Amino acid sequence: MASNAEPANWRCPDWITRLGFTVAFAALGLLVFRGLLTNSVSRWTTEPQYSHGFVIPLIALWLGWYRRDRIPGGDARCCETGLILIGLGVVSHLIAAWFYIEAIDGVGLILFIAGTVLLIWGRRFFVGIWPAVFFLTFMLPLPFQVEKLLSAPLQLMGANESAWFIQAFGIPAIAQGNTILMGETRLGVAEACSGLRMLMVFIAISAAAVIVSRRTRWEKILILFSAIPIALICNILRIVATAVAHHSVGQETADLIFHDLSGWLMMPLAMLLLSLELWLIDCLFVEAVEARPSIMTSRIPNTFSVMPEQSR
């Protein structure tokens, strides 16, 4: 007999009390990691490649709300394992302060947040929304060494590739290092224009798309890694458009449209390329429906009958 009972929902009758404890632990986290958070907000404000940091916490909250249906059913119970993660986060903060390594401090902050969620809201809640917790990693700036390691190659790639496409528009151009020479015009590909900003933003967006997507695992991996070429393509298009605008309408207009507003102009293009990628995946990889072969039976009438045993 089939059961029509609905699956059990996650229940938390004392959610007000737990919310109060969450606010208290959040205040403690702000106090412990105030140096890291202050420096991060300062870099969000002054460095264009990290300006997306302001919206990452809001996106993380939305991701947690979106995944609420994936919380296993049952009553909310505190999980003591969260104390271990909180302790590891504090220890990481002390190590970072001793050795002046900001990256370790960032790891400590994420561990502290994960431990707080696990301790107060329980294992079931954490199982459902854990991607939203670790999504907060995108609000932290890259370590200085990693940023320098990525910026220089991205600058050179952006200048060299863009110079070829600029020539395709009939404009004499040659790349020398991270500078594009167009006659008397020198177009420099600075660190802020290296594509690192677009790369960081679009990796974060791709990660959010993977979290909310219900596609197969290999499709999610493809979406995540495709953020790198899509971000590079968008940045090269921005440099080429800036160069063409410099040659056509002048430096002031070109800087306003393609430099100052580049983030707002390139993100819709990146999303369009991602949508195109998903459309191509759906067209190329069609899920096969398993069909079971049916047994064909002839409809020849039965002209022979078995005589009863008594009539023989």
Contact 198, 266 (CB under 8 A): yes
- Top mean pLDDT of 54-58, 194-198, 230-234 is at 54-58
Cα 228 from Cα 225, distance rounded (Å): 6
Quote the CA–CA distance of 33 and 141 in Å, as a whole number. 14
Q: What average pLDDT score do residues 122-128 get? A: 94
Who contacts 239 (Cβ-Cβ below 8 Å, separation ≥6)? 158, 159, 162, 180, 187, 189, 193
The pLDDT of 107-122, averaged and rounded, is 96
Does 239 have pLDDT greater than 50?
yes
Q: Can you list the pairs that 172-176 forms with residues at least 24 positions away whose Cβ atoms lie under 8 Å?
A: 173/243
**CB neighbour class for 113 (10 Å; exposed up to 12, middle 13-18, buried from 19):** buried
More confident residue, 259 or 118: 118
pLDDT of amino acid 15: 93
Tell me the percentage of the chain whose pLDDT exceeds 70: 81
Return the higher-pLDDT residue of 207 and 287. 207
